[in-house]
Amino acid sequence: MEIFLIVSIVVLACLAIADLIVGVGNDAVNFLNSAIGSKVASFKTIMWVASAGIFLGALSSAGMMEIAREGIFNPEYFSLEDVLIIFLAVMLTDIFLLDAFNTLGLPTSTTVSIIFELLGASIIIAGVNILEDNLPLKYLFNINDPANGIIGLINWNKTSTIIYSIFLSVILAFGFGVIVMWISRFIFSFQYEKRLKIFGIIWASLAMLALSYFLIYKGLKSTYAYENLTKTELQTYIKSVNPDSDYIISNEQTVTIKNIDGENLIFTKVIKKDTTEPLYETFFGNKKIEKAVNYAKENIGILLFIFFVFWFLLFTILYRFGYNPLKLVVFAGTFGLAMAFAGNDLVNFIGVPLAGYQSYELFPQPIAYPI
């Protein structure tokens, strides 16, 4: 069985490379089409801008790995072999699906693909385990609630939220796309050169204001994250990191443990408004960046005003020297989309293999089903 586990990890690593090639080829059009279609610069220049956005987005991404690790199924009820089989099925399906759609010239969403591939593979493996162990079928459909002894193999709470978010994003994208295009067309009409002097600088400043908010405030905010665990989940995590540990959490306010890299993780007990059970919270990231983000949040009005004035003055100067301010907006938009792609969609290609490797490193003994 150890050979199977090692081979699975190696295959997942190879599939990650293949999926990156196929997936980036599929998604690149999302952040390159505006710049290339408008011929704002040479193809090489556009690629350099997009590459910089991808690099920065990859450095500032956080949180999306949770979907692959525990967003669709509850890993504590699966064996390591089951988890690796799920991940292998997902990666193979994703590569074949994206390659088929690219070959046929059909658009597809890598996020939607990976979500439903994980869901389908998880349901099949969970169903097989239920049939083999002669367990109640309700384990497949229950909303997991260990505190009350309710077992749910699939994380239906998180899955339903993700699916609703996908449909909502489509509706919002369509609605805002129509509204923004109508406003821009109404302002500039079909002879934008004549109105560029009057409206172009203001429009470009507002566009750069929105992009600055996304790139700086949201970008910095995504570099750190908080993780909240229940007492049971934290106890399970401690056992997974150190199977020989006999430490039992009582009512202490803080719990300090070492992760697999030997670093200290400090969990602080907190009470959330939407939960009755106390949670243990830990922080990942840079505290100085968090303080800067919190300061910006408290003074967001002043910050946005400063951004707008800065871009307005800059575009006024550039326009007087004959530079079209809308070109800089297209460059910034390409950079921002590439950054968002790296921070959000890149996990679609490498998240599953990384989750498989992490599972191999610290997978705990599966929790026994109560009969």
Q: Tell me, yes or no, whether 179 and 252 share the same domain.
A: no
| Same-domain status, 274 and 125 | no
Q: Which domain holds residue 272?
A: 225-284
For residue 168, what pLDDT is reported? 93
**CA distances (Å), 33 to each of 27, 122, 219, 324, in order?**
10, 35, 23, 19
Comparing CA positions, the residue from 185, 48, 20 lying closest to residue 110 is 20
Structural domain ending residue among the three candidates 284, 301, 325: 284
Q: Is residue 257 part of a domain?
A: yes
Is there a domain that residue 173 lies in? yes
pLDDT at position 262: 67
Per-residue tokens: 121: 């593979």
Question: Which is it for the CA torsion 145, 150, 153, 159, positive or negative?
Answer: negative
What own/partner pairs with CB < 8 Å and gap ≥ 24 does 33-38 have?
A: 34/330, 34/333, 34/334, 35/330, 35/331, 35/333, 35/334, 38/330
Q: Give me the phi and psi of 320, to 5 degrees please.
A: -65, -25
CA proximity to 220, closest of 115, 170, 294: 294
Do 12 and 144 have their domain in common? Answer: yes
**Environment class of 345 (CB within 10 Å of its CB; exposed 0-12, middle 13-18, buried 19+):** buried
**Tokens in use for 349?**
């290609």
Structural domain ending residue among the three candidates 284, 301, 330: 284
Is residue 199 in some structural domain? no
Two tokens at 37?
């279609």
Token couple for 70: 């525990």
Task: Please check whether residue 203 lies inside any domain of the structure.
Answer: no
117 and 170 together in one domain: yes
Q: Which domain-ending residue is among 238, 264, 284?
A: 284
Same domain, 128 and 266: no
- As a whole number of Å, the CA-based R_g of the chain is 24
Pair (9, 58) in one structural domain: yes
Q: What's the confidence (pLDDT) of residue 179?
A: 93
**The pLDDT value given to residue 369:** 46
Digits of tens for pLDDT over the chain (371 positions)? 678 888 988 999 898 888 888 877 777 777 788 888 888 888 888 889 888 888 877 766 655 555 555 678 888 788 889 999 999 999 999 899 888 887 887 878 888 888 899 999 999 999 999 999 888 888 888 887 776 777 888 988 888 888 898 899 999 999 999 998 898 888 877 777 777 777 888 888 998 998 888 877 777 777 777 777 777 777 777 766 666 667 778 777 888 877 666 677 788 888 777 666 788 888 877 778 888 888 888 888 898 899 999 999 999 998 888 888 888 889 888 888 888 777 777 777 788 888 888 788 766 544 444 44
**Does 241 lie in the same domain as 131?**
no
Task: Mark whether 75 and 150 lie in a shared domain.
Answer: yes
Q: If you ran DSSP here, which 8-state letter would residue 73 be given?
A: B
Cβ 95 vs Cβ 117: under 8 Å: no
Distances (CA, A) of 232 to 34, 151, 239, 251, 255: 49, 14, 11, 13, 13
Asked if residue 311 belongs to a domain, the reply is no
Which own/partner pairs from 118-124 qualify as long-range (CB within 8 Å, at least 24 positions apart)?
118/67, 118/68, 118/71, 118/72, 118/73, 118/86, 118/90, 118/352, 119/72, 119/154, 119/159, 121/85, 121/86, 121/89, 121/90, 121/93, 122/72, 122/73, 122/86, 122/153, 122/154, 123/154, 124/89
The helix, strand and coil proportions of the chain, stated in percent and rounded to the nearest 5, come to: 70, 5, 20
Same domain? For 273 and 184 the reply is: no
* DSSP-assigned states of every residue in 148-217: GTB--SB-HHHHHHHHHHHHHHHHHHHHHHHHHHHHHHHHHTT-HHHHIIIIIHHHHHHHHHHHHIIIII
State the pLDDT at residue 213.
Answer: 86
| Tokens describing residue 65 | 């790995």
Rounded to an integer, what distance in angstroms lies between the CA atom of residue 282 and that of residue 190? Answer: 54
Which residues, other chains included, contact 235 with Cβ-Cβ below 8 Å and sequence gap of 6+?
A: 248, 249
Residues 99 and 157 in one domain: yes
CA distance 2 to 61: 33
Question: Which tokens go with 19?
Answer: 């999926």
Distance CA 335, CA 49 (A): 6
**Are 168 and 106 members of one domain?**
yes
Return the structure tokens found at 254. 């803080």
Are residues 115 and 229 both part of a single domain?
no
Task: Please report whether residue 115 resides in a domain.
Answer: yes
Count of domains forming the chain? 2
